[in-house]
Amino acid sequence: MTSSVPDPRDLVRWSDTLSAIARTGMGFTASLYERERYEEVLHVAADIKAAAHDLAEGIETTRETDHFVQEWLDNVGEGVPGYVTPKIAIGAVVGNDDGDILLVQRRESGVWLYPTGWADVGYSPSEVAVKEVEEETGIICEPVRLLSVIDGQRMGFSRFGMYMLLFHCRATGGTLEGHPLETSDVGWFSEDALPEVTAGAQWWGPVAFAAIRGEPVEAGFDSPRSPVWRADS
């Protein structure tokens, strides 16, 4: 009989999933007995998350397990508002008439990427895309099509449950000017002259520039895994 060591990313994902199930359950029950059982599940989830640190460096699981549990308990809601779901991020691939892409350099990391932001209540996803582009770059744009819906945790650029909706947008006006708090630089770049530190260009670059050139592009998404609870091989 052979055994395999779980991928640390799997451990973190399993932990987050268990904690989400437990917190959602706590938000829908008035039974003290059930709440106690769900809290026990949170402790198991915290142990799993802490164990991931023993298998891989760089995953932020070094805090005490009690800290994880308390953090989760502090975010328990009631009823439907308490149903735990992934966060939603919105990204915008903006092209101009020269076929260039609009990128911003994140102030906190120095990494270059297309404009992104968290989904806001009261805005549709495409409205968030337009708003984030203008806020971060000063450029006014219009949405053209949805390029992809992906699982950020599965892709490896998020340590918690997060979906990214990526839109292709067309620049229509505005003046190039970065956000004073969120960006350190902004600019237009051709496909063969992207900044050296550009995040994830290997997966979004070909689709983004194909869309900017006006080529037909189908919306991308993560293929279902089998089994779901193991990382991609």
H or E segment at 88? Answer: strand 87-95
pLDDT tens track for 93-104 = 999 999 999 999
pLDDT for res 149: 95
Which comes out higher in pLDDT, residue 153 or 189? Answer: 189
pLDDT score of 58 more than 70: no
Question: CATH number of the domain at 87-221, please?
Answer: 3.90.79.10
Cβ(127)–Cβ(117) below 8 Å: no
pLDDT 10s digits, 123-142:
999 999 999 999 999 999 99
Which residue is it, tokens 């502090």?
74
Global confidence as pTM: 0.80
Q: What's the start-to-end Cα distance of the chain, in Å?
A: 21
pLDDT band at 1 (very low <50, low <70, confident <90, very high): very low
| Contact status, residue 87 vs residue 161, Cβ threshold 8 Å | yes
The pLDDT of residue 63: 59
